[in-house]
Amino acid sequence: MSLGTLQFVVNKPRGPLGWWILAPIVGIAGAVLWWSAVGTQLSLSGLVAGLPWIADFLDRMLPPNFAFMQKLVKPAIETVQIALWGTLLGILLALPVCFFAARNLSPYAWVFHGLRQVLNVMRGINEIILALIFVAAVGLGPFAGVLAIAIHGAGMLGKFFAEAIEEIDEGPLDALRAAGAGTLQRIVFGVLPQVLPAWIGVVLYRFETNIRVSTVLGMVGAGGIGFELISSMKLFAYEDTAACVLVILILVLAADLISSKLRAMIR
């Protein structure tokens, strides 16, 4: 097919149906989306009708209570501390596991598959749910938050670490094997130098995410600024809520900025 001087360069889909294969795909996708819209009660008129209430909410939040921010310094610092130790413990948990969870290094297929499932479970449970469990176990406070972030983060980091290992060039490993190097030497000299930049990137990204997560952990009593946020809302002190939101924004943006700068440095 040609349109004047332009030519349409797309391969016809394989199979006997040709372009007609698109009809059922588009049809099914449309049906699923419609069904989900009904299920979630999507409604533009509902949103429009609610706009005055949102305006009212914003009106009550403004101006933010800047004086309240002084009281937020300590919880904000605690938030960062939770993210820091949550990330570190997550790394420590993920490190010994990741080598066995990489297809190319795992000694047996069942070890690889088993560990991947363990990591999936750790990753599959949301931090808030984990925090509820740990609050029950170790009591209210930031330590429960650290543990929640560490477990979920280990599942995430373990998977990404293992995937980075699967992408390495196996040539140098062959060379180390051919030179008679042992397993530890192959990992330290063949694997680590190749995966380290990717790993650091993943860890920084994880830290950034953990800052965001630890700002809401306080809602379930697991420490950090989230506690102030939820209590100010319960007391209808919306000017204080606005101050919390501002501090959270500052934290998240700072983490974002620092981690992207650091990631740019390792390239």
Partner 1 sequence: MIEIRRLAKSYGSHQALKDVSLTIRPGEFVVVLGPSGAGKSTLLRCINRLTPPTGGEIVVDGAPFSSSGRDLRLLRRNVAMIFQQHNLVKRLSVLKNVLVGRMADLSPVLSSLQLFPEADVKIAMHCLEQVAMVHKARSRADALSGGEQQRVGIARALAQQPRFMLADEPVASLDPKTSRVVLTYLKKSCKDSNIAVLCNLHQIDYALEFGERIVGLSGGEVVYDGAPGGVSGDVIRRIYPGLDDPNVLDAAQRLTERRRAAAEAETAATVREERV
Contact positions toward partner 1, by CB under 8 A? 171-172, 174-185, 188-190, 193-194, 196
Task: Closer to partner 1 by CB, 22 or 179: give it.
Answer: 179
**Taking the complex as a whole, how short is the minimal distance between the CB of residue 175 and partner 1, in angstroms?**
4
Q: Which of 191, 246, 203 is nearest to 63 (CA)?
A: 246
Please say which residue, 38 or 184, places its beta carbon nearer to partner 1: 184
C-alpha to C-alpha distances, 214 to 72, 106, 222, nearest whole angstrom: 14, 34, 9
Least spacing, CB of residue 189 vs partner 1, in Å: 6
Comparison of 126 and 185: residue with beta carbon closer to partner 1: 185
Contact between 238 and 54 (Cβ < 8 Å): no
Q: Is 180 helix (H, G, I), strand (E, B) or coil?
A: coil
Give least dist CB 98 to partner 1, A: 17
Cβ burial of 89 (10 Å; 0-12, 13-18, 19+) is: middle
CB of 199 to partner 1, least distance (A): 13
Kindly report whether the peptide bond that precedes residue 63 is cis, defined as omega within 30 degrees of 0: yes
In the complex, the smallest distance separating the C-beta of residue 96 from partner 1, rounded to whole angstroms, is 15
CB atoms under 10 Å from CB of 207, counted, come to 22
**Which residues, in sequence order, are bridge partners of residue 2?**
7
Cβ closest to partner 1, residue 174 vs residue 256: 174
Please report how close the Cβ of residue 40 comes to partner 1 at its closest, in angstroms: 49
Q: Which C-beta is closer to partner 1: that of 133 or that of 181?
A: 181
Our CB check for partner 1 shows the closer of 149 and 176 to be 176
Q: How far apart (Å, rounded) are the C-alpha atoms in residues 223 and 69? A: 17
CB of 190 to partner 1, least distance (A): 6
Yes or no: say if 217 and 145 are a contact pair by the CB < 8 Å rule.
Answer: yes
Residue (27 or 193) nearer to partner 1, CB: 193
What are the Cα distances from residue 215, in Å, to 60, 76, 100, 143? Answer: 22, 8, 33, 14
